[in-house]
Amino acid sequence: MKQYVIDELRYSDYEKIKMHLDKNLESSKISGIYWLPVDDGILTKAQASHIECRPFFFVINLEEKLISSELLVRTRNKIKCNCINYASEKQRNWLIRYMDDMLNMLKISV
């Protein structure tokens, strides 16, 4: 699986990130898993045309020592569909910018 990973977090960084994600994103029933909605403006043609599959998400996984996200754009409405795919370059850059901006806002240097 392709991922974007930021590791070697301090526990205080983990706590800041967890508070931020709890406040700003929907969490899964699985501890440490969050759903980051993908901006509609960066959907691929297949994703934009699949109204029934929306919304699309990146999954963020927060652990005490790291935060990661699969580079897979997925939906919670279906398990398999041709609109579920690895992120385009624009989507990948959007995700990385989201993660980096969050760390900068929280004053976490890695």
Report the predicted TM-score, pTM, of the whole model to 2 decimal places: 0.92
Give per-residue pLDDT as tens, 3-23: 999 999 999 999 999 999 999
If pLDDT is split at 50, 70 and 90, which confidence band does 77 have?
A: confident
Query: Domain locations in the chain?
Result: 3-105
DSSP 46-105: HHHH-GGGPSEEEEEEE-SSEEEEESEEEESS-SS-TT-EEPPHHHHHHHHHHHHHHHHH
Beta-carbon count within 10 A of 62 CB: 20
If pLDDT is split at 50, 70 and 90, which confidence band does 68 have?
A: very high
pLDDT of residue 24: 97
